């Protein structure tokens, strides 16, 4: 009985199912994208796309000027309703703009490069490109087996993985116990000491800037913070590394770690047990920091 109750609770507070029927393989070269005019469930929330294959907004792109938004699952808005994403909230104040959010879970800098090569050059009507960068974008095209293990491998690790997969009670207890953990941030932060990975990201970003410059598109990158960083804003190594490289290459950027307001507790800005993905309240905070200053 407890196992059944735990599964119900997990499905409500920690649903990570993504409807694969929404995906169009190789839509942007080697990068997949979202299908046009599709409907599905993403992390337990209804999910709709527009005719371009972007997360649908209330305004439905009625403006004349085009703004393209790209990012990963955070910007896509997994775990919140269509109308709750910070991009949808932004459309309410930009009546003259046709804003398209074509972000997709799992994208990284190489995918952003593919999207720009396929859309910016072909669509001269795009005036602004906003790239929302999540710190785990530095993984690039690496698969989970190619990345360093997040925990020590061995018998105990194998048992832990098995219990998390098979036992809802165990997974739920562990989520409650570790919901304030900084382990994911600490893991991702370490990649910014790897100059090869940082330079690979910058190669993609410089290419994007060059394409935008040649097409007279204004390009700005927004760096999204992790929950742990908002609690202790001195944990900013990734932002400092990126900022130095971005300035060196004359790429405009906004460090949202500096722009988001201070508060006592940031748990309600993020999904339960999550260090990265924003709740509806978090999306509102980001929208206000970017578009309503």
Kindly give the interhelix angle for 237-248 and 183-190, rounded to the nearest 10 degrees: 40
Q: In whole angstroms, how far apart are CA 283 and each of 52, 190, 217, 275?
A: 23, 26, 26, 14
Q: In whole angstroms, how far apart are CA 99 and each of 91, 111, 165, 200, 283?
A: 7, 19, 39, 29, 16
Element (H, E) at 74: helix 73-76
- Under 8 Å CB-to-CB from 5, ≥6 apart: which residues? none
Q: Kindly give the pairing relationship between strand 97-101 and strand 65-71.
A: parallel
- Please spell the DSSP secondary structure of 172-191, one letter per residue: HHHHHHHTT--HHHHHHHHG
Kindly give the interhelix angle for 168-178 and 155-166, rounded to the nearest 10 degrees: 110
Distance CA 293, CA 286 (A): 11
Tell me the domains of the chain and their CATH numbers: 18-147+184-291 (3.40.50.1110)
Positive/negative CA dihedral, 260, 93, 274, 200: negative
**Which residue, chain included where needed, has tokens 């999540």?**
134
Secondary structure class of 276 (helix, strand, coil): coil
CB 71 within 8 A of CB 106: no
CB 36 within 8 A of CB 49: yes
pLDDT in tens, 19-33: 999 999 999 999 999
How much of the chain, in percent, has pLDDT values that exceed 90?
Answer: 64
Q: How confident is the model at residue 128 (pLDDT cuts 50, 70, 90)?
A: very high
pTM of the model: 0.90
CB 55 within 8 A of CB 101: yes
Q: Is 221 exposed, middle or buried (0-12, 13-18, 19+ CB in 10 A)?
A: buried
Kindly give the interhelix angle for 109-119 and 195-214, rounded to the nearest 10 degrees: 10
| Confidence (pLDDT) at 67 | 92
Which one, of 51, 149, 170, lies nearest residue 102 by Cα? Answer: 51
| Confidence (pLDDT) at 163 | 47
Range in 6-20, 55-69, 122-136, 171-185 the model is least confident about: 171-185
pLDDT in tens, 35-66: 999 999 999 999 999 999 999 987 655 667 89
């Amino acid at each position: 009985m407890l196992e059944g109750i735990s599964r119900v609770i997990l499905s409500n507070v920690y649903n990570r199912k993504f409807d694969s029927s929404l995906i169009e393989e190789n839509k942007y070269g080697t990068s997949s994208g979202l299908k046009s005019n599709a409907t599905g469930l993403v992390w337990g929330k209804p999910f709709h796309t527009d005719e371009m294959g972007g997360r649908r907004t209330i305004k439905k792109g009625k403006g004349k000027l085009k703004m393209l938004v790209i990012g990963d699952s955070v910007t896509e808005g997994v775990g919140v309703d269509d109308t709750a994403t910070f991009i949808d909230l932004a459309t309410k104040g930009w009546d003259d703009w046709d804003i398209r959010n074509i972000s997709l879970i799992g994208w990284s800098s190489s995918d952003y490069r593919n999207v720009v090569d396929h859309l910016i050059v072909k669509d001269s009507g795009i005036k602004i490109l906003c790239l929302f960068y999540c710190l785990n974008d530095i993984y690039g095209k690496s698969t989970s087996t190619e990345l360093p293990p997040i925990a020590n491998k061995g018998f105990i690790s194998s048992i832990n993985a098995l219990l998390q997969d098979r036992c809802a009670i165990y997974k739920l207890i562990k989520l409650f116990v570790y919901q304030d953990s900084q382990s994911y941030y600490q893991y991702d932060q370490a990649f910014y000491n790897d100059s090869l990975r940082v330079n690979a990201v910058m190669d993609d970003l410089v290419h994007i800037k060059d394409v935008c410059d040649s097409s007279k598109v204004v390009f700005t990158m927004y760096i999204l913070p992790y929950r742990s960083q908002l609690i202790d804003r001195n944990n900013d190594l990734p932002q400092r590394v990126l900022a130095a490289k971005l300035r060196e290459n004359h790429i405009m950027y906004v460090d949202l770690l500096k722009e988001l307001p201070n508060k006592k507790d940031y748990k309600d800005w993020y999904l339960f047990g999550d260090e990265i993905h924003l709740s509806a309240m978090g999306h509102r905070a980001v929208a206000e920091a970017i578009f309503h200053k």
